[in-house]
Structure 1
Amino acid sequence: MIVGLTGGIGSGKTTIAKMFHELGVSIYIADIEAKKLMHTSQEIKEELIAAFGEETYVDGELNRSYLSNIVFNQPEELQKINAIVHPRVGQHFKDWYMSRSEEKYIIKEVAILFENDSYKHCDKIITVVAPLETRFQRLLQRDQTTREAIQSRINNQWDDAKKIALSDYVIHNEDLEKAKTQVAKIHHEISLLSQKI
């Protein structure tokens, strides 16, 4: 059983994923795997260089700031990157999932689960939400960025109401203890469901 985990930037998806991991659930974090593949896949390297120029990699390392500047406020450029990277991440996930077929369920954490249609391949979906100001404060601390840059990233994602409408579970992630209680309840429910399938 594949359970999709998503939420807007700064909602605390990764914190929630760790809580599930502590309960023994295998977690696939798509962003981390995508970054690894952008460093290790020769095919991805060649296609990114062809699309964005030699400066995309410096001494074999992905030039993240260069790419970030290109895609900032240019959704069509971001789509180009996604078209190169996402199919490879999709195949990598399939291989990873097949090697865990004995497990009751796994969690696939994807920031843009709805935006890139990968929610259609999930049996259940969990969306993590947090108040907008909480998200701003988390990101200002974590990324040493500006409110404008954060707002721009938020604008590129679906709003919470739209995600919630398509989700099976919603975790309100403001208070960690309350979030843990919600995670334990959802874990129990999904574990029971997976036994029936």
Structure 2
Amino acid sequence: MTYKLGLTGSIGMGKSTTARMFHDLGYPVWDADEAVHRLYAPGGAAVKPIAARFPGSLGNDGIDREALKRILAEDPDALKDLEAIVHPLVAQDRENFIREHAARQIVVLDIPLLFEGGSERQLDGVAVVSTHAEIQRERVLSRPGMTEEHFRMILSRQMPDAEKRARADWIIPTDTLEGARSAVERICREIVTNA
């Protein structure tokens, strides 16, 4: 039986780096953001329905995310329509991945808005990456084009870190790479031992 481990954490907490650590240990990692990129790319399953619902969102490389953002900014109710198109396709992509790796002991599902979307109900356990607020802020503001205002807007859409930590089965501290790697190895050992 494959153990479905959800991996989540707020922006700048080190989720991508931590996901690579699971991958480096040999466990398959599914990335929700990458799935959306595939669905929006030319030939992706979301292209036709999004282009039909949001005229002007189609570009040369599939769905133009910037054009789509502008459309959504003008019509706040449109987000529900977009989610109705994209969420089932992302869920199907995730199920295909789990099925493809059914012989593996652990599959890691990297889902940024895991608790916000209620995905934890389909998983066997959840690990949350976390660090001090100052480190998080420093990491995020060092990203190209990131502003304090945009950072605050992103945080306002995410569940607070303290609440994620309270709901997690495991917390992975990402203050240092060594600490994160040690936590990842411990989690994998626990899951394999208890299987």
Q: Same fold (TM over 0.5)?
A: yes
Q: Residue 38 of structure 2 contacts residue 44 of structure 2 at CA under 8 Å; is this kept in 1? A: no
AA of the residue aligned to 2:51? I
What is the aligned counterpart of 1:19 among 21, 30, 37?
Answer: 21
- Cα deviation digits, residues 18-64 of structure 1 (max 9, x gap): 0111111110011111111111455522222233222x122243212
Q: Secondary structure at the match of 1:137?
A: helix
Q: Residue 12 of structure 1 contacts residue 173 of structure 1 at CA under 8 Å; is this kept in 2? A: yes
Q: Residue 73 of structure 1 contacts residue 152 of structure 1 at CA under 8 Å; is this kept in 2? A: no
| Counterpart for residue 48 of structure 1 | 50
Q: Residue 11 of structure 1 contacts residue 128 of structure 1 at CA under 8 Å; is this kept in 2? A: yes
Q: Aligned-pair RMSD on alpha carbons?
A: 2.0
- Cα deviation digits, residues 81-102 of structure 1 (max 9, x gap): 2221111111111111111111
Bigger proportion of residues as helix: 1
Displacement after TM superposition at 1:175 (Å):
1.1
Shift of the 75–112 alpha-carbon distance from structure 1 to 2, 3 Å rule, reads farther
User: Is 2:165 the partner of 1:145?
Assistant: no
What is the aligned counterpart of 1:4 among 3, 6, 26?
Answer: 6
Residues 64-103 of structure 1 aligned to structure 2 (within 5 Å): 64-71=65-72, 76-103=77-104
Separation in structure 2 between the aligned mates of residue 65 and residue 119 of structure 1, nearest angstrom: 30
Query: Which runs of no fewer than 5 residues in structure 2 stay unpaired?
Result: none
AA of the residue aligned to 2:179? K
% identity of equivalent residues? 30
- Cα deviation digits, residues 95-144 of structure 1 (max 9, x gap): 11111111111000000111111111000100111222222222222342
Separation in structure 2 between the aligned mates of residue 78 and residue 139 of structure 1, nearest angstrom: 25
Q: Residue 113 of structure 1 contacts residue 119 of structure 1 at CA under 8 Å; is this kept in 2? A: yes
Shift of the 181–157 alpha-carbon distance from structure 1 to 2, 3 Å rule, reads same
Separation in structure 1 between the aligned mates of residue 163 and residue 72 of structure 2, nearest angstrom: 24
Shift of the 53–99 alpha-carbon distance from structure 1 to 2, 3 Å rule, reads same
Separation in structure 2 between the aligned mates of residue 73 and residue 165 of structure 1, nearest angstrom: 36
Q: Secondary structure at the match of 2:128?
A: strand
Displacement after TM superposition at 1:77 (Å):
4.1
Q: Give the alignment's TM-score, normalised by structure 1.
A: 0.89
Separation in structure 1 between the aligned mates of residue 16 and residue 75 of structure 2, nearest angstrom: 26
Q: Secondary structure at the match of 1:127?
A: strand
User: Is 2:64 the partner of 1:63?
Assistant: yes
AA of the residue aligned to 2:95? K
| Counterpart for residue 38 of structure 1 | 40
Q: Residue 47 of structure 2 contacts residue 62 of structure 2 at CA under 8 Å; is this kept in 1? A: no
Q: Give the alignment's TM-score, normalised by structure 2.
A: 0.90
- Report how many residues are paired: 193
Q: Which runs of 4+ in 1 moved over 6 A?
A: none
Query: Which runs of no fewer than 5 residues in structure 1 stay unpaired?
Result: none
| Counterpart for residue 119 of structure 1 | 120
Q: Secondary structure at the match of 1:142?
A: coil
User: Is 2:189 the partner of 1:193?
Assistant: no
Q: Residue 8 of structure 1 contacts residue 160 of structure 1 at CA under 8 Å; is this kept in 2? A: yes
Q: Residue 127 of structure 1 contacts residue 170 of structure 1 at CA under 8 Å; is this kept in 2? A: yes
